Amino acid sequence: MNGKFVYSGLFERVFVQPASHDAGGALGAALAVDQQTRRGAVAPLTDVYWGTDVPDTARILDILAGWAPWLDAAPQDDPCETGAALMADRKVIGWVQGRSEFGPRALGNRSILADPRPAEHKDIINRMVKKREAYRPFAPSVLEERVGDFFVVPPTQRDFPYMSVVLQVQPEQRDVLGAVAHVDGTARVQTVRQEVNPRYWRLIEAFGRRTGVPVVLNTSFNN
């Protein structure tokens, strides 16, 4: 329905509050108190990275040392380049950074990521971690400045940062994006802006340099 509003031509821009379920009540309560006490204009929402932060590298390595018989842990000089190389090699990665997302969607801070091109990645990730119905599509994260190359967007809006709008995949890209294009030729898109999430943006940009496709499959790292 949100996508239909975007394509309707009735509005120049469509904003959908990214936690439009029960958790949104907390945000509404905070905004109500803010208006009662401050009575100023509410600043536009730029991100929802409001949750728990990750510890520093030394603490992470200390925790992971307890799992030494089952995994190897080592700091990376450039996690973005390492992650992009792994995905380009058809590996599925867990990507955790900074503060977790508020709301129902993983938006690049608590995400499982993979190459969006091979259609079989849907089944692989379902078998590995998601354990959900096979027909449910995974979402793409795309560099905001390249969204129009892969998805049909209106002339007045190119930012869809909260994975809350379904867009049509450009017809010539539907076979390219085999793991994230739904059977009806749509996708639930997240656009990524460099100044909002620079590390996630660099990861996708690095993957794009390797593959020509600055898009990654993104699903929540919740299992």
47-66 pLDDT, tens digit per residue, is 999 999 999 999 999 999 99
Query: What are the tens digits of pLDDT across the range 186-219?
Result: 999 999 999 999 999 999 999 999 999 999 999 9
Among 117, 110, 79, 34, which Cα is nearest to 199's?
Answer: 79
The three-state DSSP-derived secondary structure of 80-110 is HHHHHHHHHCCCCEEEECCCCCCCCCCCCCE
Strands 186-192, 139-143: pairing kind:
parallel
Identity at 153, one-letter amino acid code: V
Taking the C-alpha atoms of residue 38 and residue 69, their distance in angstroms, rounded to an integer, is 55
Taking the C-alpha atoms of residue 17 and residue 165, their distance in angstroms, rounded to an integer, is 11
% of the chain surpassing 70 pLDDT: 98
Specify whether the CB–CB gap between 13 and 157 falls below 8 A.
yes
Specify whether the CB–CB gap between 80 and 202 falls below 8 A.
yes
CA dihedral 159, 155, 207, 161 (to 10 degrees): 10
pLDDT attached to residue 39: 77
- The pLDDT-based confidence of 136 (bands split at 50, 70, 90) is confident
